[in-house]
Chain A
Amino acid sequence: MMDKRILAQLEKITGRDGVLTSPEDLAVYSYDGTFEQGCPEVVVLPRSTDQVSQVVRLAAQAHIPVVSRGMGSGLAGGSVPSLGGIVLAMTRMNRMLEIDQANATAHVEAGIVTADLQTAVEKLGLFYPPDPSSIRESTIGGNIACNAGGPRCLKYGVTGNYVLGLTVVLADGRVLQAGNQCIKDVVGYDLLALFTGSEGTLGVITEALLRLTAKPKFVRTALVEFPSLEDASRTVNAILTAGILPAALELMDETAIACTEEAMQMGLPLDVEAILIIENDGSDEDFILSEMEAIAGICKEQGARQVKVAKDELERSNLWEARRSVTAALARRTPNKLGEDITVPRSAIPEAVRRLKAISFKYGLPVVIFGHAGDGNLHPNILFDMRDPAQWTKVGLMVEEEFTTALELGGTLSGEHGVGTLKRPYMQQALGPLSIEMQKRIKQALDPLNILNPGKVFPD
């Protein structure tokens, strides 16, 4: 239970409707998009950077943990308040502060929903490319804190590539402004890169200045059917090494297809081992079409059964909606799923897919494979029922083998979800002691009291 005086002070900062303490309110801030849980002692919904600063200052004085979060759709346990304390839910700081068309930048508050930001800038012919599948249920602040990816990152880069400036409340409550509207800036260390992907452990991101680009005028999306998963995973490299860089190159295996089809009823093929979704965009329609033809040719050479190009925007958006629904649709099969996002060098994709399926075979639990194959970022999802202790034990062993596979192939534990609590145990293996020591010293310098999202990312 939180001290009454602290609660009174919090209410003074945000007003009464910004401080939640009922057991019901606390219970619904105890989870994210995983099965991790931890109950906060109070939830604060600030409306300005100044309020965040006051809350953090108060927390620092009283040594209370502060866990910042957006919509809680994270997939690594990063925003779960595992040690209690204050949850700072940024969802009410959701204003679009300015769209600067001349400089192609957007200045937003951290709680804006990423899809809302995209809609707003696209009305002006501008484009914010990062597109995590949680685009409608995640915030920019959360995207930056986890350096979110998404299908289009193959061509356009990840969230961090679009961060030009940040307003960050530091662990003592001071407000840091980093970055500016310039695309180039090499003065001093790159603090933007430091806070991007820091998962709320180094500061609370309250505002962001984002780089925009011109919205591509034309886009074509193809659904390619492969009777063999092996052929599909080999095709990814065949396309990329042919000098073509699609906007997105996504892979779905047969279970991913089946679950999604069950949820969406959109006519996905149920008699193939895999599909690729390939998108091409740009400002020259003829060029896109000719590249699309080249892609189709390569796919057929590699064993594709059929290449279907979406005939209109509706068909295209349905296809992407289906792709974005995969992760949730898998839960139609079992009560629980553990979705990882290991990333390997793209030449190793076929081998990674083979080994992941071997892990599934060895333990007898399904491992569904889908993901952003084009950038080597795969989402092996283990389907299981947590109520069965035997399955739960297997899951632990399987995850370990998945990570070992990624590392052996020269890859990494996480491409876009982050570490949170779920990948902490594997950090030593992934990074080695020197790297971890350096990073812990950075954490120590910025948050000496360890109040910002404690218990996350690094092993104790």
Chain B
Amino acid sequence: MRIDGKSEGPRQSMSWLHTWVGLPLGWLLFAVFLTGTLSFFHQEITVWMKPELHQSLATQPQAQQLQTAIDALQTRAPDATAWNINLPSNRQTATEISIRKPGDDPRDRRGGERLTLDSATGEALTARDTRGGGFLYRFHFDLYGIDRVIARWIVGFATLFMFVAIISGIITHKKIFKDFFTFRPNKGQRSWLDAHNATAVLALPFHLVITFSGLLLLMFMLMPWGIDAAYEGGRQDFFQAMNGRPVQQGQQQNQQRGAEQQREGMQQRNREGANDEARAANREAGERREQQAQRNGERQAGGERQANNGNREGRGGNGEGREQQPTAPAAPLGDLVAMLATAEQQWPNKTITSISVTNPNRENAEVEIRAQESDSLLSRGQQPSMKFNGVTGAVIATPEAAAVSIPSAIYNLTTLLHMARGADVALRWLLFLSGLLGTMMVASGLILWCVKRAPEQQAQGYKSFGYRLVERLNVATIAGLPIAIAVYFCANRFVPVGIPLRPEMEIKFFFIAWLISAIHATVRPHRSAWIEQMAIGAGLFFIVPIVNALTGGRALWSSIYHQQWTVASVDLACILMGTLLAWSVYKLQTKPAAVVKARKTVEKPVEKSLIQAEGQA
């Protein structure tokens, strides 16, 4: 896209496209990437942000933890319609139980009373009110303070631009593998370019998958036309067809549609009102129900979905579809510990985390045990589960899952990886590190835009408005957002417990810190703004683990000693972030002449051609 309209090679034009499709939404993409990367640990962050839960050390055998939980449930709510027990795992320190009383819908996953128990003593733990990692997780696709649908369109649009930027970037780099092994440090612009290339190429499959699946996760909103064309009832019918059930024709569809619209509204309200993000996994599961086409037929079947619809519809004024189960006669609950042992035998390599009991202490009691890691991301992506008769303890056979078609497999694999669902610790950390690389790729791309234009700006003797704007936005985003996140973590410990609207107060700190960083970036000279903000960010991230230890959380050495990885992961991730920021401060300080050097490089004819091919505007 040359100004003079002369012909240019495809790689030159792709380089132009790469630059100009990447820049306008680059800051948003940086924020989405960074908060999204941290969201791989959003459950861990939530636990970290509830230091009251750190005291629960899950060192006992699981059978003992389960017995403790059952004892607590039997004393608290022997007449409940359903119990759900989430045992401690590498993602949670304490035992979480939820109780559904008679009158609640037994299968509504969001309902019921929730309690957190010390896994050793069974004593209830009251944690502070916080949005925890859920705030960062929501921010990465819902942003904050604007309408959810508008926010998702904005993020979806940015995701498309990201995808275009990746593809055009790949076309620009013919010799992608040679590039990967080319890093010329301390060469000004060349180094930035190499850093951009290296971070891009090193995790290229990750970038492609995460971006494409980002689009797929929003596809029912961004691209509903295929589904609408094929299915009169829209999404609901499509889900049913994907689950291999015949689509019911007729008036029910319209009803379902209405119910769904209502449900959308409901969910939004639920979400806005909800504070307990520790249960985010469950909540997401509910959301996946709407987002994910391919479902586990048995458990999440249409029947349940309809029951849910009915329930919500009922709240909207129409009680149809609500399931009223007559109470079965009382019967002693079977031995759950033995059932757990059976499940453990079945899955020797998996962590069992979730046990749910429907109709406990009744004749029709049923127990379902689920493992944390999924069998395969290709198939249902659902955690494996076993069902037992709750009185006799006999295994109830579950039907085989339907075969997965290729498009469903693609959809499942990419979206489940995106959400790190069913991922074990190693995969989660790999995703986290890839996400960090992606974040650094976006950041280095934005900085490269400036570095590349620095000689030109120097030649003209003043910085043009656009150039200054990009420079400042770069500082305010690339340095400002990490600062805001670190401040959010610290605010979690310094905002008094028990004040009204406490979670909102924490979020206020996040945005105030970000605003101050933006103002600072505007008033300070560019270089000083970088160094100062990166230094502050590094300092804050190093302080976070110390603050954690001093304000009631479990100190890093103790959490590592007791293998409480939920808490240790967050502290370690903060130290990693701090190290990255400190390293960039060091780099910035030891290289005062980076811009001049870049200028020298441009003087060389060969280098110049490279640079122009890379991203000439």
Q: Do A and B form a real pair?
A: no
B interface list, Cβ under 8 A from A: none
